[in-house]
Amino acid sequence: MVVERFSQNLINSGIFKLYIATGFFATLIFFVINADLFTPMEMIFGIMGVTIVLKGVTNMMLSLIILLFNLDNKREELKHKYNEDKIDAMLAELSVQDAQEKVDKQTSNK
């Protein structure tokens, strides 16, 4: 749960898309500047190849970040919040039961 939320937040931040887009446009500029050295097909395959490689590198970076990042504090925080919510729910249920018992006693005394 913690790892999934962390990785989803990391993906949604857009840093990896920015990395891939920067590499794509850098490769595109490289091939445009050196257009006299490459054929159009070589340029297309080069741009596609570099973009695919960058996507692979991005996935490896994401895996390493998730692997090496310490999520114990976040896990403990979520566990504490879960326990706190559970205790609050139990207290609310207990207060409802107490109120119901008071109402029952009042109706039986009449």
* Helix/strand/coil for 99: helix
Assess whether 48 and 1 both reside in one domain. Answer: yes
Q: Are residues 41 and 85 in the same domain?
A: no
Residue from 62, 54, 44, 55 nearest 8 by CA? 62
pTM score of the predicted model: 0.60
pLDDT digits (tens, 9 = 90+) for 37-57: 999 999 999 999 999 999 999
The answer on 55 and 15 residing in a single domain is yes
Q: Rounded to the nearest 10 degrees, what angle do helices 2-12 and 15-33 cross at?
A: 40
Listing DSSP states for 14-64 in one string gives -HHHHHHHHHHHHHHHHHHHTTTTS-HHHHHHHHHHHHHHHHHHHHHHHHH
Other C-beta atoms lying within 10 Å of the C-beta of residue 47: 17
Shared domain for 31 and 45, answered yes or no, is yes
C-alpha span between 2 and 10 (Å, rounded): 12
**Whether residue 55 is found in the same domain as residue 1:** yes
Q: CB under 8 Å to 78, separation ≥6 — which residues?
A: 1, 2
Pair 2, 71: CB distance under 8 Å: yes
Residues 29 and 43 both lie in one domain: yes
For 43-94, write each residue's pLDDT tens digit: 999 999 999 999 999 999 988 888 887 777 878 888 899 999 999 999 999 9
Indicate if 87 and 57 belong to the same structural domain: no
Q: Supply the pLDDT for residue 9.
A: 84
Write out the residue range of the structural domain in which residue 51 sits. 1-69
Q: What is the pLDDT of residue 110?
A: 65
Q: Answer yes or no: do 76 and 105 share one domain.
A: yes
Query: What is the per-residue pLDDT for 1?
Result: 65
